[in-house]
Amino acid sequence: MDENLALVKYEKLSTKEKIILYFFLYAFIGWCLETFYAFTVFGHFVKRGFLFGPICPIYGFGAVLLIINLSKIKGNNFKKFMVSMVVFSVFEFIASWILEIVFHQRWWDYSDAFLNIQGRICLSFSLLWGVIGVLFANIIHPFIKKRVDKRISRSTLKVQRILLYSFFAILLVDFIASCIKNIT
């Protein structure tokens, strides 16, 4: 019996499940950052993002893209910078384009910025994405990953999966409700 308990304790989420977990975590952190930024600019709470709930998927997807693309690059900060800059800029352009096509809205507009492309991306933010990517790969994600690994090792795989798939179900309902609200 003790051997079975030991095996349950050490089971872990699959790599794909951890990526999904990081998506939710960074999407929530992104929502917090957006909310804090808006509060400091406007002096009051401003609903940020597309969804009703406290999550900005663009941050979650961006973090997942960085995790996948930068995990193979060891130690070369210039390469991390360039990959981050390109990946984030392409992602930001595509996300802006899709949001505008589907919902006829723009969530950001860099039209007044130097060297912008259709107001969807611009040089200054592309450079910022490169810097953020290096910081993310070298400091932010290792810090978060260490804490996540420590936390999830304290619960059984069954509890981990129930929480993960519950988050996914809640996001799906929120996404559908938000789409209905923004399309009509």
Token pair of 28 as six digits? 């929530």
Token pair of 125 as six digits? 């933010």
Task: Report if residue 36 sits inside a domain.
Answer: yes
What is the enclosing helix (H) or strand (E) of 116?
Answer: strand 116-117
Task: Report if residue 171 sits inside a domain.
Answer: no
For the chain, what percent of residues have pLDDT higher than 90? 54
**What distance in Å separates the CA atoms of residue 167 and residue 58, rounded to the nearest whole number?**
16
Query: Helix (H, G, I), strand (E, B), or coil: what is residue 115?
Result: coil
Query: How sure is the predictor about 1, in pLDDT bands with cuts at 50, 70 and 90?
Result: very low
Task: Report if residue 122 sits inside a domain.
Answer: yes
Give the pLDDT confidence of 81-126 residue by residue, as tens digits.
999 999 999 999 999 999 889 888 888 899 999 999 999 999 999 9
Task: Report if residue 20 sits inside a domain.
Answer: yes
Helices 141-152 and 15-42: crossing angle, nearest 10°? 120
Determine the residue type at 85. Answer: M
**pLDDT confidence of residue 111:** 94
Task: Report if residue 45 sits inside a domain.
Answer: yes
**pLDDT confidence of residue 93:** 96
Task: Report if residue 49 sits inside a domain.
Answer: yes
**What distance in Å separates the CA atoms of residue 66 and residue 84, rounded to the nearest whole number?**
7
Residue 31 structural domain: 12-164
What is the enclosing helix (H) or strand (E) of 175?
Answer: helix 157-183
140 secondary structure, DSSP code: I
Task: Report if residue 93 sits inside a domain.
Answer: yes
Residue 82 burial (CB count, 10 A): 15
Report, as an integer, the average pLDDT of 1-19. 66
Q: What's the structural domain count of the chain?
A: 1
Task: Report if residue 159 sits inside a domain.
Answer: yes
Q: Is the pTM of this model over 0.85?
A: no
Give the pLDDT confidence of 127-149 residue by residue, as tens digits.
999 999 999 999 999 999 999 88
Q: Are 20 and 61 in contact (CB under 8 A)?
A: no
